[in-house]
Chain A
């Protein structure tokens, strides 16, 4: 499955990069922009059915720094989130 993670600085943490980008937009004449926050976007290919808590742990332990950053996880999982109750059809899902 495909997992998209967006990491941004927490509100209140100085975003010098965002301010520089805001300055650039202003210089181009875009006066309607009042704030820019620059973040990081990561796309992960992850085995189907990987539990949400593992994804959260990846963010908390490495992909983001919880002291200054927050993150959003979006999962594009073809399989249902909970384990299936019925037996898996033969010949499928063998890893």
Chain B
């Protein structure tokens, strides 16, 4: 599996993503933001950070970069795309995912571990997990209050903020996101955005290794297609 990690001016989690992907056995490489050709890649990650200094709106300028046209074609062809934190904001701004982000309800930058519940296993990052499974992952963002568009299909919700036992308590929602939404996918399910950082949760020493199965899901995508081709479905 070859996974490309897009590097925008102001990306800060690109190295972490590369490191985490290599840890789970994926072949990971950097993709510069001016790149227009993603041939040869099996999946693409848009990492976290502060692309273009969050000017205008978080992710707004990066969403109009040359590489995003390539990501758009890649996604249209069914390629797996994962946006993490600022990468999620970029996918929203690019219109590849539904909804928008505003500042955290508490008005502060939130940097701590949270729990999220897996709501959909029909995506390239969650297909190896069970629905309802609870993961402990870190978040670090100032603009993570997710506003869904009217009539968002609930099947497009991939993660919700919850407490350790999976309940949707208001205190478990770090940013005030509508309906506790922490991650969504497109209608086809191949483009996923999430605010928590799986690449920062790859070892118990770091507080949690719950990010590993998500990245492994990407790495093992070829076996998923084989399963699907064998008629086993999802």
Chain A contact residues, CB within 8 Å of chain B: 9, 13-17, 19-20, 40, 62-63, 65, 67-68
- Flag if B106 contacts A68 (CB, 8 Å): no
Chain B contact residues, CB within 8 Å of chain A: 56-57, 60, 64, 93, 99-100, 102-107, 145, 147, 149, 176
- Flag if B176 contacts A14 (CB, 8 Å): yes
- Flag if B106 contacts A65 (CB, 8 Å): no
- Flag if A68 contacts B105 (CB, 8 Å): no
**CB neighbours of A13 from chain B (8 A):** 102, 147
Query: Knowing A65-B57, A65-B60, A67-B147 touch, does A16 contact B106 (C-beta < 8 A)?
Result: yes
Please name the residue on chain A nearest to B147 by beta carbon.
A68
Give complex CA distance A68, B107 in Å: 17
> Given A14-B176, A15-B103, list of 5 further CB < 8 A pairs?
A14-B145, A15-B102, A16-B102, A40-B56, A67-B149
CB distance from B93 to the nearest CB of A (A): 7
The 10 closest A-B pairs by CB, nearest first: A16-B103, A16-B107, A67-B100, A68-B100, A20-B107, A65-B100, A68-B147, A17-B103, A16-B105, A14-B105
Give complex CA distance A40, B102 in Å: 14
Please name the residue on chain B nearest to A9 by beta carbon.
B102
CB distance from A21 to the nearest CB of B (A): 10
**CB neighbours of B56 from chain A (8 A):** 40, 62-63
**CB neighbours of A14 from chain B (8 A):** 102-103, 105, 145, 176
Give complex CA distance A13, B176 in Å: 12
| Residue of A13, A14, A15, A63 contacting most chain B CB atoms (<10 Å) | A14
| Residue of A13, A16, A19, A68 contacting most chain B CB atoms (<10 Å) | A16
Give complex CA distance A63, B104 in Å: 21
- Flag if A17 contacts B149 (CB, 8 Å): no
**CB neighbours of B147 from chain A (8 A):** 13, 67-68
Give complex CA distance A63, B93 in Å: 11
Question: 29 A-B pairs, CB-CB below 8 angstroms?
Answer: A9-B102, A13-B102, A13-B147, A14-B103, A14-B145, A15-B103, A16-B102, A16-B103, A16-B105, A16-B106, A16-B107, A16-B176, A17-B103, A17-B107, A19-B107, A20-B107, A40-B56, A62-B56, A62-B60, A63-B56, A65-B57, A65-B60, A65-B93, A65-B100, A67-B100, A67-B147, A67-B149, A68-B102, A68-B147
